[in-house]
Structure 1
Amino acid sequence: MSTDVRIRRAMANCSKGEATRMTLPPQVRELDLDALADVVGWRDPKAPDRAVLLVPADGEPVGIALRSSSNAVGSAAMCALCRTTHGPGGTALFSAARKGARGRGGDTVGTYVCADLACADHVRVEKATAALRPAPGLSVDERRAGLRERAAAFAAEVLG
């Protein structure tokens, strides 16, 4: 089964039609889903207010459809998933419809996440910069593990 099909089937909180219409960027199509160890996020290139968070899980990843608010945070803020502090505009509020009838009824879960959804890249930053400051005192492996745990908890809240 192709990566495209597997990702679309992994989408847990949207309709099959929405998953089919979702645009997958080239780098996402090249992912080895069997070896997926990090959270992968992207904005839909054809609809920038829509995004996807692909969370590693046992066996198959879980896909969470997200909607972004119209504005990024205007001051320094921390991503709730990777715990990286960004300068102004580096984080945005993303919401995810809950799975099933609750989501169809408008129930959502929201959190502040890196505006570019590149949390997996940000936790690998070795040294803080003016615009990007990873959680201090933790190794890259510890930051990667924390990202996976917090993303899995967010996915569980969406699916629960």
Structure 2
Amino acid sequence: MTAETRIRRALANCTKGEASRLTLPPEIRELDLDALDDVVGWRDAKAPDRAVLLLPGSPEPAAVLLRAASNPVGTTGMCALCRTTHSAGGTTLFTAARRGPEGRRGATVGTYVCADLGCRRHVRVGKATAALRPAPGLSVEERRAGLRERAAAFVGDVVR
């Protein structure tokens, strides 16, 4: 089974039709999901208000469909997943419909996340820049582990 098929099947909070209409970037289609050990996120190029958060998993990854708020945060903000602080416009409120009957009735879970969903790259930043400041006092591996834990908790809240 291809990575693209596995990712679409992993989407826990949308219909098969929604999953099939999602645009996956070329680099995502080529991911080795069996070796994936990072949280991966991307925005749909054809519908930028749609996004996906993909978590490594065994035997299969887990994923949720997200919706972006129309405006990014206008001031300095911190991503709730990777805990990177961004300059203005660097974080956005993303919401995910809950799985099942609750989601069909409109129940959602939301959190502020890096606007580009680049948490995977951001936790690897060695030194703070004017636009990007990773959590201080933690190693890259500690930041990666924290990202996985917080993302798993968010996805768990969506699919419970």
Q: TM-score range by the shorter chain?
A: over 0.9
CA distance in 2, matches of 1:136, 1:121: 16
Report the counterpart of residue 118 of structure 2 in structure 1.
Answer: 118
Kindly state the Cα deviation for residue 58 of structure 1 after the two structures are TM-superposed: 2.5
TM-score (norm 1): 0.99
The one-letter amino acid paired with 1:104 is R
> What is the rounded CA distance, in whole Å, between the counterparts of 1:21 and 1:77 in structure 2?
31
* Structure 2: stretches of 5+ with no match in the other structure: none
Tell me the amino acid that sits aligned with residue 124 of structure 2: R
Whole-Å Cα distance in 2 between the matches of residues 9 and 156 of structure 1? 17
* Distance apart, 1:148 and its partner CA: 0.1
Superimposed CA distance per residue, residues 13-60 of structure 1 (whole angstroms, 9 cap, x where no aligned partner): 000000000000001011000011000000000000000000112211
Q: In the alignment, what sits opposite 1:26?
A: 26
Moved over 2 A (4+): none
Q: How does 1:62-141 map to 2 (within 5 A)?
A: 62-141=62-141
Percent identity at matched positions? 72
Q: Note if 1:56 corresponds to 2:17.
A: no
Q: How many residues align?
A: 160
Partner of 1:10: 10
Structure 2 counterpart of 1:152:
152
Q: CA deviation at 1:76?
A: 0.3
Name structure 1 gaps, 5 residues minimum: none
Deviations 1:53-78 (A, max 9, x none): 00112211111000000000000010
